[in-house]
């Protein structure tokens, strides 16, 4: 089975070719970061239009580089995400699938993220607990197998990535905020600011909106010199990392698992990785991440999930985008 994967749920156009026997043949990404930077967040209509512009050249380039060979199916992100952006990918995938006489299948974006570490030469085995930390979601899931997902906890308000983006905006760092905060925090000195850790000692849910308010208050109180910006970024990142690490450890204990998979854009964060590595190995467990380029949105994770889900999938011409779609609604595979 050789699958063309198409990801257009937000502001990255990702395409990839995955072969079950050979592995990942190639992938391409067009990031819209600069397009949205001046707005401090993704503008949905601009995102949809840019996916339209980017898709065809990316796919042609990918297939030309891969050389001649059949494609057995097309997997595209069906949701959750921005409705217009999702529809661009879905229409493109179904048009191509119809022309080539092959099936197209809609993939859950978060299933793509949580299977991304499987593209590694040394993938984690099931079962595991997954910490999904992206711009739109912060979720803890117990994962028995592909399609068997049980939610353990989630953010009651902002997602972790969203908190990074909003803090970056308050500090005038542009979008996306995560990598910029991480760079700035590296030069920050601990101890100058101290932010609270909401819900730290309670359950498996998260809350990040209060943190954003605390950052806002600190900014309003005045950040005199550049070092104050760095110290604030450090304190903010430390608070997020602390909460994510605590909850991930509690989730492993609650679910009785020893393996932790961390995926989504925020899983690229070095401070988060360091804290999780220390905490999980101390308890005798193991922690797995996608390779860095597959932490944020990409086509490879969608092609990979598609290879699982295309087996025996019905060939249909109809499609819908699902901007809201609980991960637990997915059917498990035989």
**The pair of three-digit structure tokens given for residue 69, joined into one six-digit string:** 């060979």
Quick one: which of 11, 142, 158, 297 contacts Zn ion (CB under 5 A)? 297
Rounded to the nearest angstrom, the gap between the alpha carbon of residue 325 and the centroid of all alpha carbons in its chain is 15
Closest CA to 295 of 4, 61, 84, 29: 29
CB-wise, 158 or 297, nearer to Zn ion? 297
Question: If binding is defined by CB under 6 A, does position 198 make contact with ligand KG4?
Answer: no
Give yes or no for a contact between 164 and 232, defined as CB atoms under 8 angstroms apart: no
Give yes or no for a contact between 299 and 14, defined as CB atoms under 8 angstroms apart: yes
Question: If binding is defined by CB under 6 A, does position 103 make contact with ligand KG4?
Answer: no
Quick one: which of 3, 171, 268, 276 contacts ligand KG4 (CB under 6 A)? 268
Q: How, if at all, do strands 23-31 and 73-79 pair?
A: unpaired
In the complex, minimum distance from the CB of residue 8 to ligand KG4, in angstroms, rounded to a whole number: 12
Q: How, if at all, do strands 73-79 and 2-7 pair?
A: parallel
Quick one: which of 73, 89, 117, 177 contacts ligand KG4 (CB under 6 A)? 177
User: According to CB under 5 A, which residues from 106 to 145 bind Zn ion?
Assistant: 134
The one of ligand KG4, Zn ion, none whose footprint includes residue 164, by CB under 5 to 8 A per kind, is ligand KG4
DSSP character string of 38-102: TTTS--HHHHHHHHHHHHHHHHHHHHHHH-S----EEEEEEESS-HHHHHHHHHHHHHHHHHHT-
> From CA 193, how far away is CA 195, in angstroms rounded?
7
Question: Residues 109-138 vs ligand KG4: string with x where CB under 6 A?
Answer: -------------------------xxx--
**The pair of three-digit structure tokens given for residue 67, joined into one six-digit string:** 């050389």
Local structure of 166: helix, strand or coil: helix
The one of Zn ion, ligand KG4, none whose footprint includes residue 161, by CB under 5 to 8 A per kind, is ligand KG4
Quick one: which of 7, 142, 158, 297 contacts ligand KG4 (CB under 6 A)? 297
Question: If binding is defined by CB under 6 A, does position 167 make contact with ligand KG4?
Answer: no
CB-wise, 16 or 228, nearer to Zn ion? 16
In the complex, minimum distance from the CB of residue 212 to ligand KG4, in angstroms, rounded to a whole number: 13
> From CA 211, how far away is CA 35, in angstroms rounded?
27
The one of Zn ion, ligand KG4, none whose footprint includes residue 268, by CB under 5 to 8 A per kind, is ligand KG4
List residues near ligand KG4 by CB under 6 A: 10, 134-136, 161-162, 164-165, 176-179, 182, 264-266, 268-269, 296-297
């Amino acid at each position: 089975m050789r699958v063309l994967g198409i990801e257009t749920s937000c502001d990255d156009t990702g395409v990839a070719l995955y072969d079950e026997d050979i592995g990942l043949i190639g992938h391409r990404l067009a990031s819209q970061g600069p397009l949205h930077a001046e707005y401090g967040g993704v503008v949905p209509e601009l995102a949809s239009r840019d996916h339209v512009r980017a898709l065809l050249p990316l796919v042609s380039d990918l297939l030309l580089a891969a050389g001649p060979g059949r494609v057995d199916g097309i997997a595209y992100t069906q949701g959750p995400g921005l409705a217009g952006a999702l529809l661009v990918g879905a229409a493109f995938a179904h048009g191509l699938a119809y022309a080539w006489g092959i099936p197209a299948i809609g993939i859950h974006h978060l299933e793509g993220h949580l299977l991304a570490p499987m593209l590694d030469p040394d993938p984690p085995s099931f079962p595991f607990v997954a910490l999904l930390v992206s711009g739109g979601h912060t979720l803890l899931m117990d994962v028995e197998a592909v399609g068997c997902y049980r939610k353990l906890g989630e953010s009651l308000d902002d997602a972790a990535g969203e908190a990074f983006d909003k803090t970056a905006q308050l500090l005038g760092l542009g979008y996306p905020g995560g990598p910029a905060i991480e760079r700035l925090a590296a030069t920050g000195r601990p101890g100058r600011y101290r932010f609270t850790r909401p819900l730290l000692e309670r359950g498996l849910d998260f809350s990040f909106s209060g943190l954003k308010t605390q950052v806002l208050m600190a900014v309003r109180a005045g950040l005199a010199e550049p070092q104050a910006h760095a110290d604030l970024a450090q304190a903010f990142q430390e608070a997020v990392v602390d909460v994510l690490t605590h909850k991930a450890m509690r989730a492993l204990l609650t679910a009785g698992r020893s393996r932790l998979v961390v995926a989504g854009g925020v899983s690229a964060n070095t401070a988060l990785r360091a804290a999780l590595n220390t905490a999980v190995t101390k308890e005798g467990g193991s922690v797995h991440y996608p390779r860095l380029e597959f932490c944020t949105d990409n086509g490879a994770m969608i092609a990979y999930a598609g290879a699982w889900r295309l087996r025996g999938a019905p060939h249909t011409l109809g499609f819908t985008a699902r901007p809201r779609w609980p991960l637990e609604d997915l059917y498990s595979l035989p």
